[in-house]
C-alpha cells in the first residue's frame, strides 16, 4: 500500500491515484454493487488518498489520518458540508448547515450535551432500557426470537424523545419512527437518481416522502406549540431551543429553525446508536470469549445490578468492546465534504469544488495503524495499545469542530444498555443467513437481525 504522505510544500499537479473506470459511468457499477469491498480493495491498491470516478465526476477519498487532520481540523473552514438532499429534510439543522448559522447553533446547543447534563439523563435512559428489559423478560422465559435491530431502534428512539424533548412513549412513537424511516430512505435514494430520468417515474416514492414529512412536521410543530403554551421548565433540549436568545440581536430562534434542530437530533441521535448496539450483540454472539470476559467485568463491578452514572467510567472492558465495534462497523461509514477553495492534500492538488469523502470504515482498516484489521479484538483499545496511536486513526464520531455533538450521550446510552441487558439475557443468532453490514445512510444490517433471547 502506498502510504507515503508528502508534505503540502511538495504538492504538484500530478494526478491523484485511482482506477480509470468505464466511459461515462467510471467505477459507479462496482462502487454501487459493493461499496465496502470495492473501496477497501481500492485503498489497498492506491493508498491513503485516491480518486474514484463515480459517474461523470470524481470523488476524492481521503483515508490517511494525516490528511483527515487537515480536512477536519487544520483547514476545516475549507471543507463545507453539502448534503443537499438530506438538507431538504433537516433544513438548517446542526448536521447540515455551514458557516455562521452552524456556529451559532452549535454554541447554543452545546450546553445540552455537557457532561453534567448527560449525567442527569442517566436515570431517564435507564428507565427506558428497564422498560425494554421487562418486555423481554415477559417473553424470554421459554426462549424467543426477536428482530434485534427493530428492538434497538425503538429503544434509541424512546431514549432520544424522552431525554431531549421530554416526550413519553405513546401510540404515536411507532408512527413517528416509521415516518422518519420512510423519509430517510427516500432521501438517501434521491442521491442516486439519474438527472435524465423523468420525475414522474418517482411520483409514487415522492408521494410517500411528502406524506411522511408532512406528518413529522405536524407532530414537531404541535410539540413546539404545546411547550410554548405550557411554559419551559423541563430543562431539556427543547426548552433550550425555545429560550435561547442571540447574544447580539436578542432574537429568539424561529419555529422553523427549532423544527430543523428537533428533526436533526431525532435523525442523528437514534439510528447510529441503535446500529452500534445491534452490531455489539451480534459480534458478542459470534465471539463468546469476548462475551465471557465482558460478563466477568459486569459480575465483578456490578454484581448483577444496574449501573449508575458513577459506575460507567469503571466499565473499561465494556468501553473497549464498544470502541472495537465502532472501529469495525462505524455507523457513519462515509461522510462527505466539498472543497471551498483550492488546497493540497498529501502532495496532491485539490481544486475548489472537489467532492471529498472521508471514510472511518477505511481509515479504521489501515494496517499501519490497525494490524490484522478485520479481526474483532477489543484489546486494541486498552490504554497500553492505544497510547501513541495517531489521534485521527480512530474517528467513529469524526474529530475537529464538526465532531459529533452527541458522542458522550451515545456512549452513555450504550454503556448503560449493555450491562442492563447482558446480565439478564443470553442472545444467540437464530439459524439462517448471517446478517451483513449494508452501507446506506448509516451502516445498517442487511436484513432483520433475528436473535434468540433466553434468560441468563
Ligand atoms: C454511536 C452513535 C453515533 C455515531 C457513531 C455518530 C457519528 C457522527 C459523525 C461521524 C458525525 C459527523 C458527520 C459529518 O461530518 O458529516 C456526527 C455528527 C452529529 N451527530 Fe452524531 N453520532 C452518534 C450519535 C449521536 C447522538 C446520540 C446524537 C444526538 C443526541 C448525535 C448528534 C449529532 C449531530 C447534531 C451532529 C452534527 C454536529 C455538527 O455538525 O456540529 N449523534 N455524528
Ligand 1 center from residue 276 Cα (angstroms): 13
- Write down the residue that cell numbers 494496517 correspond to: 367
- Reduced to 3 states, what is the DSSP secondary structure of residue 403? coil
- Is residue 2 in a domain? no
- Write down the residue that cell numbers 435507564 correspond to: 126
The count of domains in the chain is 1
- Is residue 224 in a domain? yes
- Reduced to 3 states, what is the DSSP secondary structure of residue 211? helix
Question: For ligand 1, atom 17, which residue shows the shortest CA distance?
Answer: 404
Ligand 1 center from residue 269 Cα (angstroms): 7
93 lines ligand 1 (CB under 6 A): no
Of all atoms in ligand 1, which is nearest to the CA of residue 335?
16
- Is residue 58 in a domain? yes
- Is residue 290 in a domain? yes
- Is residue 1 in a domain? no
Domain residue limits at 243: 8-455
Q: Among candidates 256, 247, 194, which has minimal Cα distance to 224?
A: 256
**What is the C-alpha separation between 160 and 180, in angstroms, rounded?**
14
Could you tell me the CATH number of the domain that includes residue 111? 1.10.630.10
- Is residue 103 in a domain? yes
332 lines ligand 1 (CB under 6 A): yes
277 lines ligand 1 (CB under 6 A): no
268 lines ligand 1 (CB under 6 A): yes
Question: Could you list the pLDDT tens digit for every one of the 456 residues in the chain?
Answer: 444 444 444 445 789 999 999 988 999 999 989 999 999 999 999 999 999 999 888 999 999 999 999 999 999 999 999 988 888 899 999 999 999 999 999 999 999 999 999 999 999 999 999 999 999 999 888 778 999 999 999 999 999 999 999 998 887 888 998 998 899 888 888 877 777 888 888 889 999 999 999 999 999 999 999 999 998 788 899 999 999 888 788 889 999 999 999 999 999 999 999 999 999 999 999 999 999 999 999 999 999 999 999 999 999 999 999 999 999 999 999 999 999 999 999 999 999 999 999 999 999 999 999 999 999 999 999 999 999 999 999 999 999 999 999 999 999 999 999 999 999 999 999 999 899 999 988 999 999 999 999 999
pTM of the predicted structure, to 2 decimals = 0.94
pLDDT at position 12: 53
Question: For ligand 1, atom 10, which residue shows the shortest CA distance?
Answer: 397
- Is residue 409 in a domain? yes
- Is residue 3 in a domain? no
List the grid coordinates of 295: 460478563
- Write down the residue that cell numbers 472521508 correspond to: 358
Of all atoms in ligand 1, which is nearest to the CA of residue 409?
27
Residue 119, judged by CB atoms within 10 A of its CB (0-12, 13-18, 19+), counts as middle
Ligand 1 center from residue 404 Cα (angstroms): 4
Amino acid at each position: 500500500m502506498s502510504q507515503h504522505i508528502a508534505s503540502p510544500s511538495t504538492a504538484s499537479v500530478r494526478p491523484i491515484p485511482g482506477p480509470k473506470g468505464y466511459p461515462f459511468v467510471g467505477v459507479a457499477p462496482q462502487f454501487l454493487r459493493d461499496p465496502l469491498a470495492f473501496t477497501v480493495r481500492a485503498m489497498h491498491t492506491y493508498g491513503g488518498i485516491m480518486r474514484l470516478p463515480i459517474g461523470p465526476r470524481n470523488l476524492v477519498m481521503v483515508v490517511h489520518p494525516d490528511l483527515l487532520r487537515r480536512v477536519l481540523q487544520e483547514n476545516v473552514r475549507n471543507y463545507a458540508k453539502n448534503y443537499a438532499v438530506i438538507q431538504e429534510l433537516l433544513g438548517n439543522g446542526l448536521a447540515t448547515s455551514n458557516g455562521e448559522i452552524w456556529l451559532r447553533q452549535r454554541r447554543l446547543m452545546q450546553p445540552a450535551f455537557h457532561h453534567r447534563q448527560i449525567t442527569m439523563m442517566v436515570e431517564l435512559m435507564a428507565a427506558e432500557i428497564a422498560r425494554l428489559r421487562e418486555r423481554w423478560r415477559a417473553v424470554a422465559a421459554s426462549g424467543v426470537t426477536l428482530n434485534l435491530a427493530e428492538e434497538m431502534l425503538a429503544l434509541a428512539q424512546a431514549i432520544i424523545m424522552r431525554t431531549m424533548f421530554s416526550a413519553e412513549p405513546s401510540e404515536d412513537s411507532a408512527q413517528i419512527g416509521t415516518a422518519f424511516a420512510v423519509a430517510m430512505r427516500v432521501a438517501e435514494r434521491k442521491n442516486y437518481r439519474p438527472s435524465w430520468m423523468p420525475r414522474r417515474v418517482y411520483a409514487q416514492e415522492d408521494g410517500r416522502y411528502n406524506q411522511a414529512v408532512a406528518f413529522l412536521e405536524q407532530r414537531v410543530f404541535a410539540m413546539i406549540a404545546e411547550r410554548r403554551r405550557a411554559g419551559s421548565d423541563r430543562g431539556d433540549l427543547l426548552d433550550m431551543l425555545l429560550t435561547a436568545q442571540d447574544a447580539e440581536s436578542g432574537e429568539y430562534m424561529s419555529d422553523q429553525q427549532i423544527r430543523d434542530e428537533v428533526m436533526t437530533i431525532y435523525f442523528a441521535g437514534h439510528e447510529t446508536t441503535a446500529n452500534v448496539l445491534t452490531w455489539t450483540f451480534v459480534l458478542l454472539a459470534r465471539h463468546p470469549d469476548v462475551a465471557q470476559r465482558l460478563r466477568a467485568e459486569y459480575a465483578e463491578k456490578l454484581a448483577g445490578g444496574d449501573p449508575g452514572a458513577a459506575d460507567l467510567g469503571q466499565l473499561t472492558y465494556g468501553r473497549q468492546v464498544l470502541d472495537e465495534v465502532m472501529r469495525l462497523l462505524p455507523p457513519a461509514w462515509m461522510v462527505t465534504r466539498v472543497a471551498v477553495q483550492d488546497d493540497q492534500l498529501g502532495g496532491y492538488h485539490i481544486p475548489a469544488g472537489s467532492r471529498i469523502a472521508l471514510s472511518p470504515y477505511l481509515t479504521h482498516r489501515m494496517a499501519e495503524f490497525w494490524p490484522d484489521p478485520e479481526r474483532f479484538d477489543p484489546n486494541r483499545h486498552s490504554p497500553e495499545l492505544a497510547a501513541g496511536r495517531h489521534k485521527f486513526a480512530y474517528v467513529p464520531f469524526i474529530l475537529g469542530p464538526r465532531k459529533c455533538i452527541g458522542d458522550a450521550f451515545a456512549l452513555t446510552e450504550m454503556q448503560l444498555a449493555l450491562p442492563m441487558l447482558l446480565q439478564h439475557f443470553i442472545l444467540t443468532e437464530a439459524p439462517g443467513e448471517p446478517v451483513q453490514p449494508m452501507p446506506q445512510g448509516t451502516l445498517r444490517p442487511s436484513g432483520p437481525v433475528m436473535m434468540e433471547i433466553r434468560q441468563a
